């Protein structure tokens, strides 16, 4: 299961936009190879990865479209010029990245802030940054349409959400926690999430059910 990465929360602290570009798990091995070798040809990637030329070209095209990899022409000692592939600066930032430990450490620092007002202000700023990174993907005119758009956004991250429209107002429901490791340690992640969703839908939402209270799901309702 692929959850919303700790890197997105880490990015919220520094506004690292490049972290928003989703890396397919099968591309990680290719990125790591290019990081270690600096540049490789298609033939070298085929041999190292043990996959077909078609698979290598498909992955390279995807990574080039995302801005993580660039193709360079080179001339060998003889024959026609060839191409080698190398990481861009953006690609370098994506490789060898494990943000889980860093995200947990940063969240522990937030918890250690004694002043409740200062702590809440920091949570609001983090929620604002995370919402800003998602805002271009959340569309619609009504609260319901925006909630549906949020469901589609998190579906790409394999985190199931749904919208219940049976009541007077729509309800956004998280069927699984996007930040499971953080939520298990600190409930304030739920407050940050509520602030983020409120900003994305343009309406103040209430967390009416929470998995940490023994419920099967978390629900966010408009006031």
CA pair distance 198, 35, nearest whole angstrom: 39
Q: 6-14 vs 100-111: helix axis angle to the nearest 10?
A: 60
Indicate whether 208 and 113 sit together in one domain.
yes
pLDDT tens string, the chain, 223 residues long: the values are: 334 445 555 556 545 444 445 666 678 888 888 888 878 999 999 998 888 999 899 999 989 998 989 999 887 666 677 899 998 888 876 655 555 666 777 888 888 889 989 988 998 999 999 899 889 989 999 999 999 999 998 887 768 899 999 988 999 999 887 777 677 777 788 888 999 999 999 999 999 998 888 888 899 998 8
Please tell me the predicted confidence (pLDDT) of residue 138. Answer: 94
Residues 6+ apart with CB under 8 A from 39: 72, 84, 85, 86
Q: Please give the residue range of the domain that contains residue 125.
A: 101-222
Indicate whether 110 and 186 sit together in one domain.
yes
Please tell me the predicted confidence (pLDDT) of residue 22. Answer: 60
Indicate whether 105 and 158 sit together in one domain.
yes
Last residue of a domain, one of 94, 122, 143: 94
CA pair distance 210, 140, nearest whole angstrom: 26
Please tell me the predicted confidence (pLDDT) of residue 2. Answer: 37
User: Is the CB of residue 32 less than 8 Å from the CB of residue 60?
Assistant: no
Answer yes or no: is 49 within a domain: yes
Q: Which two structure tokens, joined as six digits, stand for 69?
A: 């990899």
CA pair distance 181, 100, nearest whole angstrom: 9
For the chain, report the end-to-end CA distance as a whole number of angstroms.
32
Residue 161 phi, psi (nearest 5): -125, 160
Please tell me the predicted confidence (pLDDT) of residue 96. Answer: 54
């Amino acid at each position: 299961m692929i959850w919303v990465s700790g890197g997105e929360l880490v990015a919220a602290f520094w506004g690292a936009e490049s972290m928003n570009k989703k890396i397919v798990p099968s591309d990680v091995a290719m990125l790591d190879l290019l990081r270690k070798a600096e540049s490789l040809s298609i033939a070298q990637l085929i041999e190292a990865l043990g996959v077909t030329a078609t698979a290598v070209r498909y992955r390279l095209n995807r990574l080039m479209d995302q801005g993580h990899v660039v193709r360079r022409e080179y001339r060998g000692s003889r024959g026609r010029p060839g191409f080698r592939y190398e990481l861009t600066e953006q690609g370098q930032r994506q490789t060898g990245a494990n943000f889980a430990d860093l995200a947990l450490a940063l969240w522990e620092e937030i918890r250690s802030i004694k002043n409740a007002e200062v702590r809440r202000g920091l949570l609001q700023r983090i929620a604002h940054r995370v919402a800003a990174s998602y805002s271009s993907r959340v569309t619609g005119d009504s609260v319901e349409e925006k909630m549906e758009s949020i469901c589609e956004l998190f579906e790409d991250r394999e985190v199931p959400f749904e919208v219940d429209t049976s009541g007077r107002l729509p309800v956004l429901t998280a069927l699984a926690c996007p930040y499971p490791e953080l939520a298990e340690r600190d409930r304030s992640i739920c407050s940050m999430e509520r602030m983020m969703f409120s900003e994305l839908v343009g309406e103040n939402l209430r967390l009416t059910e929470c998995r940490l209270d023994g419920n099967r799901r978390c629900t966010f309702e408009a006031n």
